[in-house]
Structure formats: C-alpha cells, structure tokens
C-alpha cells in the first residue's frame, strides 16, 4: 500500500483535529508588519492580530513562504512516504504555488504533485481534505491528486465584508473593484470566481447580505447534502449564528466553523463572515 503525504498552506484554516487525524503538513504563510515578520498561526495568533490591528495605524502586508521553506517541508513530508500532494491557495491570490513548484524542481528525486485549489480559506481546506482522505484510504499519488483536482471546480466560497478597504489596500480586490465608491453603508457580497475575488452584489445591511449569501448557496446546491464550513474574521457570534442557519437550512455531510488567521484576515478585514461548500458526494 502506498503512503502519500498531503501538504497545504496556513490559509486553509483546517480544524486542528483534522490536521492531526490525517497527518496533514501545513506551511505557514508570512505576515509583514513594519519591520517585523510573523509566521501565520505560529508566531502570531488571531486574537493578538485583531487586537493589534484595531489600534494600528498601519495595515500589514503578506508574503508566501519561500521555495527553500517548501523544500524543507517537502523533505520532511517525504519521510516514510512514497510521494507528496501539495494543495495550495489560488495562484490569482498568492505566489504560493510558484514557490511550491520551484521547491519541487529542487527535489527531482521526490514524486511531488502540486494542485492549485483556485480557492482559499476552507475552500482550500475542503480540497485538501479530499486529498487527505484519499491518501488515508491508501490511494496512490495519481489518485490522491485526482481526488483534489476533481473537487476544485465544485467548491464555492461566499463572503460578506464590513468594508472593501482591506481588499483594496492589499491588492486582492479583483472584480470587486467595481463596488469601490459605493455608499459607506453598502455591504458587499463577494465570492471566489475562477480563483479570484469577484462581486456578487451590494446589500444595504449585513443581515440582508448574509441572507442573500444563503440564498445563493441554496441556488448552487439544490437539495443535495453539503460539505460546508463557516468562516469568520474576529466575528465569532455572527459566525455561530450563521452556522446554525446553515445547519437548519441544508442537509449536510460535514459542517465546520473556523476563524481566519492573520494572513487572510489582513486582506478581508475584521467582521468578515462567509461560507465554503460543495454539494454531493466526494471528499
């Protein structure tokens, strides 16, 4: 039986118990704040980040892990493994895949497949889980890679931000740029479209935006059971309420609640809530 190691990056926000259960290797991304550099989820955690952000005049920036860091993690993941499948944040949002591919080139003797999830947050997490579950079943490198790649086009990520300021500042605003200049009270409903952030609409209140988000989710999944995760940036009560709405409204195979860490939190801003999901079997 083959043994395939699965690697992802820290923007997947997989619950720690799932990371431990499947032995998933996680590469921390980097947060740069002035002359300080932090490793996402390692040297800075969400409570510390959001507290500092609330009193800071500067918005931090982010950077992907280097090819050298990936090479070291791949070498670690290769111990007692026949191959590696790496599933990472969308190339439209980060240079992470490029770093991983450069690392693969430096390790020609290791069988490594790199998958662009075309997503992030638990959209990336759900694709990573599909790969990890296939690996846990003893499937080979090609089959584990296929399990991830076939799920990529089925995964949806919808979210509501308090303001477009953070996306605009970080350069990740994508197609949502057309909403800039809207009245301050407008709450943008956004989604990941072909790996980039795009606008689904403008709603006058956060509550209405969340309602519309659930309507779009219903339109996309129909009556099929869902694999889903509610995500939030320093909005635990709103997220808990959203999870209950998902629980009541949709039949589900799995349903998680995860908090966005500093690297994505710095781009979407505090108060963001959303849902990542796909319908039907698989994963």
Residue 193 maps to which CATH number?
3.30.1180.10
Let me know whether 172 and 272 are in one domain.
yes
Let me know whether 198 and 78 are in one domain.
no
Residue finishing a domain among 152, 184, 201 = 152
- At 129 the three-state DSSP class reads helix
> Mean pLDDT across the stretch 133-154?
97
Residue 196 DSSP symbol: E
Q: Provide the domain limits for residue 255.
A: 155-279
Let me know whether 121 and 175 are in one domain.
no
Check whether 169 has a pLDDT greater than 70: no
> Mean pLDDT across the stretch 242-252?
97
Let me know whether 249 and 133 are in one domain.
no
Let me know whether 138 and 166 are in one domain.
no
pLDDT at residue 265, as a whole number: 82
Specify the number of domains making up the chain.
2
pLDDT at residue 217, as a whole number: 97
Residue 39 lies in a domain: no
Check whether 26 has a pLDDT greater than 90: yes
Beta strands per DSSP E along 50-176: 61-63, 83-88, 112-116, 156-160
Let me know whether 131 and 165 are in one domain.
no
For residues 281 and 248, give the distance between their C-alpha atoms in angstroms, rounded to a whole number: 20
Residue 54 lies in a domain: no
**Could you tell me the pLDDT band of residue 78, with boundaries at 50, 70 and 90?**
very high
Let me know whether 210 and 170 are in one domain.
yes
What is the model's pTM?
Answer: 0.92
- At 13 the three-state DSSP class reads coil
Let me know whether 137 and 177 are in one domain.
no
């Amino acid at each position: 039986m083959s043994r395939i190691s699965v690697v992802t990056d820290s923007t997947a926000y997989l619950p720690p118990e799932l990371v431990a259960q499947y032995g998933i290797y996680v590469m921390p991304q980097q947060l740069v704040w002035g002359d300080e550099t932090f490793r996402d989820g390692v040297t800075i955690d969400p409570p510390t980040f959001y507290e500092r952000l609330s009193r800071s005049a500067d918005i931090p920036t982010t950077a992907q892990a280097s090819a050298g860091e990936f090479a070291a993690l791949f070498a670690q993941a290769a111990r007692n493994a026949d191959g590696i499948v790496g599933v990472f944040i969308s190339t439209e949002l980060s240079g992470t895949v490029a770093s991983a591919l450069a690392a693969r080139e430096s390790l020609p003797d290791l069988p490594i497949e790199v998958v662009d999830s075309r997503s992030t947050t638990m959209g990336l997490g759900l694709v990573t889980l599909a790969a990890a579950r296939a690996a846990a079943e003893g499937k080979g490198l090609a089959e584990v890679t296929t399990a991830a790649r076939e799920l990529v086009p089925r995964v949806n990520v919808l979210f509501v931000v308090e303001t477009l300021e953070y996306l605009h500042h970080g350069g990740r605003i994508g197609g949502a740029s057309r909403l800039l200049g809207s009245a301050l009270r407008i709450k943008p409903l956004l989604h990941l479209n072909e790996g980039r952030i795009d606008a689904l609409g403008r709603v006058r209140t956060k509550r209405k935006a969340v309602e519309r988000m659930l309507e779009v989710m219903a339109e996309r999944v129909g009556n099929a059971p869902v694999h889903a995760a509610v995500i939030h940036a320093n909005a635990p009560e709103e997220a808990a309420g959203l999870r209950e709405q998902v629980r009541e409204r949709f039949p589900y195979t799995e349903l998680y609640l995860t908090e966005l860490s500093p690297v994505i939190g710095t781009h979407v801003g505090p108060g963001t809530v959303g849902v990542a999901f796909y319908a039907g079997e698989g994963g």
